[in-house]
Structure 1
């Protein structure tokens, strides 16, 4: 049985769609999933990237695209009242529900639905209080161990060269994005394409662009 590590941030609509799609995409295969909340903003900064919502035209397209994808898949996706927002309280809450900082699927689904269904403010204090009561974490979101575990998950993702969410790691290979799910399935099925020669070929491809200035 293969173990998949699913790196996610609840701020990402693509992570929500991938979360919903994963069981269908991998139906019939033997695997387990470990969910690790990470701070998307930290991943973007580490890689020198802007988030889609930081580029006005891309922001409009991203929201339009995810709403269409949800519609086409029969998934409920309502844009929250404000987006982007600070996801830290939600990430820490999910981490706080498990001693090892690894929320189960129920917890992740509950938080995702809190954000992406109903169109309300995802970080409204009253709603956060109700969500916390529902999940009943053993630790508070401000517990130092919670903060440390969330940082460790994010640092681990950086070390694996994860640059965005959703990302799926298995056997040291990282598959990024909702549209990578068919590729992930092919790998789990043992597709012969996934040799080192194919997988590592992009790393040896020379770039025609000048190096970035420090």
Structure 2
């Protein structure tokens, strides 16, 4: 049985879609999933990037595409009242329900659906309080241990080459995005392409944009 690590941040609509579609995408295969919350903003800072929601035309396209993908795959989805939002409280709440930087599928599902179903304000304080009462975390979400765990998850992911969410990791290979699920399935099925050397493709940089 293969171990798949699902790295996610609740701020990402693609993470929500991939989470909901994962059982169907991998139906019939033998695998175990480990769910790890990470802070997408930490990835952006490390790689010197803007988030999709920080580029106006890309922001508009992202929202159109994720809603289309949701209806195309039969996944209930409504945009939150405002986006982007600060996901820290939700990520820390999720981690406070688990151990060793991991959460179970129920916890991941609950925090993701809190954001991406119903169209409410994701970071609304009364809603967060109700969510905490529902999940009954075993640790203090605002405690230093949980905060350190989220930071450690994020730094460890960056060290392994992650740059975005969702990212699924199996046998050291990284599969990014909702549309990476088909490639992940092929890998788990033992597709010969992965042993052909194509995975390790390396292309020299032809030209680099000046940084200043």
* Cα deviation, residue 99, structure 1: 2.7
Task: Tell me whether 1:56 sits opposite 2:56 in the alignment.
Answer: yes
Q: Summarize deviations over 1:157-184 as a string: whole Å, max 9, x none.
A: 1011110000000000000010011110
Cα distance in 1, alignment partners of residues 23 and 211 from structure 2: 43
What is aligned with 2:208?
A: 210
Give a deviation string over 1:28-68, Cα, whole Å, max 9, x none: 10000000000001101111111110000110010011011
* Aligned residue number for residue 126 of structure 1: 126
Q: How does 1:5-154 map to 2 (within 5 A)?
A: 5-154=5-154
Larger deviation, residues 95-104 vs 123-132: 95-104
Q: SS at the partner of 1:193?
A: helix
Structure 1 stretches (4+) deviating beyond 4 angstroms?
none
| 1:197 shift after superposition | 1.8
Q: What's the TM-score once normalised by structure 1's chain length?
A: 0.96
**1:179 alignment partner in structure 2:** 179
Any stretches of 5+ residues in structure 2 without a counterpart? none
Per the TM alignment, residue 213 of structure 1 is displaced from its structure 2 partner at its CA by 3.5
Deviations 1:11-31 (A, max 9, x none): 100000000110000001000
What CA deviation, in whole Å up to 9, does each residue of 1:129-186 have, x standing for no partner?
A: 0000000001111111101111111011101111000000000000001001111000
Cα distance in 1 for residues equivalent to 2:13 and 2:155: 22
TM-score of the aligned structures, taking structure 2 as reference length: 0.97
RMSD: 1.2
Provide the C-alpha distance between the structure 2 equivalents of 1:212 and 1:39, rounded to a whole number of angstroms: 28
Give the 3-state SS of the residue equivalent to 2:33 in structure 1. Answer: strand
Q: Distance in 1 between matches of 2:196 and 2:86?
A: 39
Shift, 1:101, TM fit: 2.8
Q: Classify the secondary structure of the residue corresponding to 1:194.
A: helix
